[in-house]
Amino acid sequence: MSNQHWPTHGGSSPNPWAQPSTGWQPPQFEDHPGRDPLQPFNAPSQYEPPMIDPPRKPAWPIMLGALLVTVVGLGLLIYLPGRTATGPTARPAASQAISLSPSAPSGNVLPFDKLGGGEFEVLRHNWTAAGLEVDYRISVNQGTHELTMYAFLNSTREGYYEDRATIIRPREGNPATGRIFIEMPRGDTTLVLSTESGTPITALPIPG
């Protein structure tokens, strides 16, 4: 059997494989990383996931807590300092530090060491509608001194004085006795013996 030949271009039927189609394109392949030839088959992948930072906690709770602590601290600094005495008869000296005998009842003798030593005694006290009346006795161990007294309410720390301060002059071997009256509201009170300039020496409690 003779071989059949395709007609030439000059013939009426051209070879369909001689002319490529104008719409044909070669297939596209994506590049993939090849397997490591040194890695055994079925070995686990060496792929490591990217590191992801854990979510950060918001900072506003810490800032709010610090602000609250600051506000509370400022409030305490403003509120806690001792209140100054008020009113026409009140004086700051009533809030000065005074050594008291917590169990010393009114009417007992209370020794003191300042000014060379001595004794302070309330012989009697009486509350009237206007204030506090006190009978006293003061003795000193050395020299002669000029003393005075004032009182303050334990509940308010407000100090009260005589309208005209009595100057008490005890001297060694000659105690001073007398009576003072202090206009003030009734209540548990501390009666303070002080120098003429207002420096506290000692004090006795007076029940209201």
Domain span at residue 117 reads: 111-206
Mind giving me the DSSP string for 87-151?
Answer: STT--GGGGS-----TT--TTSEEEE-GGG-EEEEEEEEEE-SSEEEEEEEEEESSSB--EEEEE
Q: Is the pTM of this model over 0.75?
A: no
Per-residue pLDDT reduced to its tens digit, 159-171:
999 989 999 999 9
Per-residue pLDDT reduced to its tens digit, 72-83:
565 555 544 444
- The pLDDT value recorded for residue 109 is 83
d(CA 125, CA 119): 17
Q: How far is CA 193 from CA 84, 121, 150, 157, in A?
A: 20, 10, 7, 16
Residue 85 has pLDDT above 50, yes or no: no
Is residue 177 assigned to a domain?
A: yes
Is residue 6 assigned to a domain?
A: no
Return phi, psi of residue 18, to 5°: -80, -20
Residue 21 has pLDDT above 80, yes or no: no
Number of domains in the chain: 1
Is residue 193 assigned to a domain?
A: yes
Q: What is the mean pLDDT of residues 179-192?
A: 96
Confidence of residue 100 (pLDDT cuts 50, 70, 90): very low
Is residue 62 assigned to a domain?
A: no
| CATH classification at residue 164 | 2.60.40.2550
- The pLDDT value recorded for residue 92 is 41
Report whether 112 contacts 201 (CB < 8 A): yes
d(CA 174, CA 138): 9
Is residue 197 assigned to a domain?
A: yes
Is residue 117 assigned to a domain?
A: yes
- The pLDDT value recorded for residue 75 is 57
Is residue 131 assigned to a domain?
A: yes
Structure tokens at 107: 């009417």
Q: What is the mean pLDDT of residues 141-156?
A: 95
Contacts with 196 (C-beta within 8 Å, 6 or more apart), sequence order: 146, 147, 148, 167
Residue 28 has pLDDT above 70, yes or no: no
Is residue 126 assigned to a domain?
A: yes
**Top mean-pLDDT range of 30-39, 83-92, 108-117, 125-134:** 125-134
